Structure 1
Amino acid sequence: MNTTPFRAGHVAVIGRPNVGKSTLTNALVGAHVAIVSPRPQTTRHRLIGIASYSEGQIVMVDTPGLHRDFGSANATAMHKWMNKAARGALDGVDAALLVVRAGQWEEADEYAYQALQRESLPVMLVINQVDRIVDKDQLLPYVAEVTKDREFAAVALISALKRKGLKELTRDILKLLPEQEAIYPEDEITDKSQRFLAAEMVREQVMRQLGEELPYATTVEIESFEVDGTMLRIGAVIWVERNGQKAIVIGKGGERLRDIGTQARLQMERLFGTKVFLQTWVRVREGWSGDERALRAFGYHD
């Protein structure tokens, strides 16, 4: 008979941009609920990923990267939204994970740490991408350096991408959570709708394929989402800010847009477990990322 108490709670995943927060969320959930690309600031929304185990349930609150400049007067409406979403993720959580890259501690990491210090939360330091450190003898001095004069409930060394160290991480997270019943049914993996996830999967492909050319000038709106028997029929609009950007997304003879649609459709079919018919269009709305009204229209709201 298992005498270990069942624990459940919300855990905010915090850190500077592009340290692997969404990859970690997906790894613990066991499904691709949070989009991932090599480009910083891929995550724009607060997203919940639900990881259920026999010992407990961890409700991961994935967030955009915290960045000091995003809260400045010169920041765009999009950047202010992202900072607000990241900070808002700390409301009502039971613990937080501060995710950093192994071997690094930058000013933005310190900014994220100080933001967490203002909350009455247990904070675990999660050092990600340890597989990239060739000389493992460097890890102990690094851990000693980043934990000196900083308070953490625990420290975890992991590779989220390669799923290394996750069992120990899960065990230590559960220790920080209250004893209570599961918050969500065992078969749920996110709080987001299929419609939301479909838009994110299209945007993920735009970021992956065109991130260097159009890093932050695009967003995706689902114009239609219909159930047709066992098939989903989805219409997605990729919004850009200039006509030149539209041409880049479409590509020569429409090749780039077709590739984006194909890869996004395959990802949807894997996650939704059904056939998907996806149509995509590209449209222009000048300056949408700096327009709060446009952001609300595209789903960037509380």
Structure 2
Amino acid sequence: MTKDFFDSAFADLPDDAAATPTPHDYRQFEDVPDGFRSGFVSFVGRPNSGKSTLTNALVGQKIAITANQPETTRHPIRGLVHRPDAQIVVVDTPGLHRPRTLLGERLNDIVKDTYADVDVIGLTIPADEKLGPGDRWILDNVRKVVPNTKIIGIVTKLDKAGKDQIGAQLIELHSLLSEQDDNAVVIPVSAKEGVQLEELVEEIKLALPEGPKFYPDGHVTDEQEEKRIAELIREAALAGLKDELPHSVAVEIDEMLPDPERKGVLNIHAIMYLERPGQQRIIEGKDGRRFTRIVGTARKEIMALLDRNVFLDLRIKVLKNWQQDPKHLGRLGF
């Protein structure tokens, strides 16, 4: 693991959790038993193969948004899996894909940088979709970046396929991984129904090195609160969208302030960026009803996250072709 990666992993921890840690300081959190294993794992796969859903299921809390559209995840999100004999840091990343925009190119760069710093990679293949050239392309690119990193095969979405289909997928994925790994491991899981998750955790643990705890017990994610809120708004906006519009949606939190007149209410002011005026009409819907649903859905999710009452002021702004504009991408954090 690189020092930059460790530094970024601790950037958003509370002050009492860590001062300025280095890779050699982590035992400050507490002693660990002999044989304790720790490390970083990232799931790779085609867009919409269940990576974020699997991350949430393993962590036991929603830290990554999910949607039916591909390429939903926009930046790496770290979640913690705590076990008595191990601590696993799951890094959810954007899907590795053939980019069509400057944003896509930057997301791929982020993904490759992340893979270079993890101990284990899980290749996710949906049980209900045939393994194809796209999966091989992803695997080949991962191996180019990290030729010596352990890759575990994961057949996801067992709840969407029959036994014969699942069995065939397991055999094909094992055969693919065995081309370069004589000890290839493939695990079938259903994140939605909680099937085989502990078996997957055990396989990941076996592939991790012995080491200290990177985070204190009870720590779930180092994702900044404002980013999590922005993502919940974007998730609400993505529901039901089709074609290219989902990729044109970005959300930024402008400010979060206690309401001066309503005790216990947090006022959240956010901006949703789109690329064209026509997209704004789609988001708003007839008589503004779709936009009203977006605000209502997002507000409920945010209140559940913060455990407090929230007023959400969401505005729409057109930022022409922001996915292709370096200046706009930098402003939005890409």
- Specify if TM > 0.5: yes
Match of 2:249 among 210, 218, 227: 218
CA 242–122 in structure 1, closer or farther in 2 if over 3 Å, else same = same
Residue identity in the other structure for 2:96: L
1:45 equivalent in structure 2:
75
1:143 counterpart letter in structure 2: L
Contact 2:131–2:169 (CA<8 Å) still a contact in 1?
no
CA RMSD in angstroms, aligned pairs only:
1.9
- What is the number of residues matched between the two proteins? 293
Quick check: 1:58 aligned with 2:83?
A: no
Q: Which blocks of at least 5 consecutive residues in structure 1 are unaligned?
A: none
Aligned residue for 1:123?
151
Range with bigger deviation, 199-208 or 246-255: 246-255
Aligned equivalent of 1:200? 231
Determine the C-alpha separation between the residues in 1 that align with 2:70 and 2:320.
Answer: 23
Instruction: Provide the rounded CA distance (Å) in 2 between the counterparts of 1:274 and 1:294.
Output: 33
**Which residue of the partner structure matches residue 105 of structure 2?**
80
- The CA distance in 1 between the partners of 2:70 and 2:244, in whole Å, is 14
**TM-score calculated relative to the size of structure 1:** 0.91
Distance 2:180 2:264 in 1: 53
Aligned to 2:7: none
**Structure 1 position 180 matched with structure 2 position 200:** no
Structure 1 residues 1-302: aligned runs within 5 Å: 5-67=35-97, 69-70=98-99, 75-102=100-127, 103-118=129-144, 119=146, 120-134=148-162, 136-148=163-175, 149-151=179-181, 153-212=184-243, 214-227=245-258, 230-300=264-334
Moved >6 Å (runs of 4+): none
> Once the 2 structures are TM-superposed, how far is the Cα of residue 214 of structure 1 from its aligned partner?
2.0
Which shows bigger deviation, 240-249 or 195-204? Answer: 240-249
Residue aligned with 2:240, SS? helix
The answer to whether the 8 A contact 1:49-1:190 is kept is yes
Q: TM-score, normalised by structure 2?
A: 0.82
Q: Deviation of residue 4 (structure 1)?
A: 7.2
**8 Å contact 1:27–1:163 — kept in the other structure?**
yes
Q: By how many angstroms is 1:212 displaced?
A: 4.7
1:153, distance to aligned residue in structure 2 (A): 4.2
Percent identity between matched residues is 34
- Asked if structure 2 preserves the Cα contact closer than 8 Å seen for 1:16 and 1:108, the reply is yes
Measure the CA separation in 2 of the matches of 1:203 and 1:139: 33
Could you give the per-residue CA deviations for residues 155-187 of structure 1, whole angstroms, max 9, x where no partner exists?
A: 110011221110111111111112222211222
